[in-house]
Amino acid sequence: MKPISLDNFEFTGHEAAKLGDLHALDAHDREQLLMSGVDVEEQGRSGSFLHMDHSGAYCKTNRPGVEILNIKDALKKYDGLPEYFWKLVDPEKDEATRKARDVLHGGYFIRAEKGAKIEEPVQSCLFIKANKAGQSVHNIVIVEEGAELHIITGCAVSHQTQESAHVGISEFYVKKGGKLTFTMIHNWGENVAVVPRSAGYVEEGGQFLNNYVLLRPVKYLQMYPTITLGGTGAVARFNSVVVAPKGSYLDMGNRVIMNAPDTRCEIIARTIASGGTIINRGHIKAGQVPAKGHLECKGLILGGGVIHAIPELEATVEGVELSHEAAVGKIARREIEYLMARGLDEDEATSTIVRGFLNVDIMGLPDKLKQVIDKTIAESQKDMF
Binding site for other proteins (CB under 8 A): 332, 334-335, 337-346, 349, 352-353, 355-359, 361
Q: Cβ(255)–Cβ(227) under 8 Å?
A: yes
C-alpha distances out from residue 4 to 8, 53, 151, 326, Å: 9, 19, 29, 28
Q: Is 290 or 329 the residue whose CB approaches other proteins more closely?
A: 329
Shortest distance, CB of residue 241 to other proteins, whole angstroms? 10
C-alpha distances out from residue 251 to 191, 221, 223, 311, 383, Å: 16, 6, 7, 13, 20
Q: Is 320 or 373 the residue whose CB approaches other proteins more closely?
A: 373
Q: Is 134 or 299 the residue whose CB approaches other proteins more closely?
A: 299
Q: Is 239 or 263 the residue whose CB approaches other proteins more closely?
A: 239
Shortest distance, CB of residue 342 to other proteins, whole angstroms? 5
With a CB cutoff of 8 Å and minimum separation 6, the contacts of 257 are: 226, 227, 228, 229, 285, 287
Shortest distance, CB of residue 343 to other proteins, whole angstroms? 4
Q: Cβ(230)–Cβ(202) under 8 Å?
A: yes
Shortest distance, CB of residue 348 to other proteins, whole angstroms? 8
Return the closest-CA partner of residue 16 out of 60, 61, 50, 47. Answer: 50
CA distance 187 to 323: 32
Q: Is 313 or 331 the residue whose CB approaches other proteins more closely?
A: 331
Shortest distance, CB of residue 357 to other proteins, whole angstroms? 6
Degrees (nearest 5) of the Cα angle 50, 236, 199?
50
CA distance 208 to 234: 8
**Exposure of 291 by Cβ count < 10 A (0-12 exposed, 13-18 middle, 19+ buried)?**
buried
Q: Is 7 or 337 the residue whose CB approaches other proteins more closely?
A: 337
Give alpha helix (H) positions in the chain: 27-35, 71-77, 95-102, 333-340, 346-358, 367-380
Shortest distance, CB of residue 338 to other proteins, whole angstroms? 5
Provide the 8-state DSSP code for 288.
Answer: S
Q: Is 97 or 240 the residue whose CB approaches other proteins more closely?
A: 240
Provide the 8-state DSSP code for 331.
Answer: -
Q: Is 2 or 342 the residue whose CB approaches other proteins more closely?
A: 342
Shortest distance, CB of residue 59 to other proteins, whole angstroms? 37
DSSP 359-370: -GGGG---HHHH
Shortest distance, CB of residue 360 to other proteins, whole angstroms? 9
Return the closest-CA partner of residue 225 out of 136, 139, 305. Answer: 139
Q: Is 61 or 352 the residue whose CB approaches other proteins more closely?
A: 352
Shortest distance, CB of residue 327 to other proteins, whole angstroms? 12
DSSP 172-233: EEE-TT-EEEEEEEEE--TEEEEEEEEEEEE-TT-EEEEEEEE-S--SEEEE--EEEE-STT
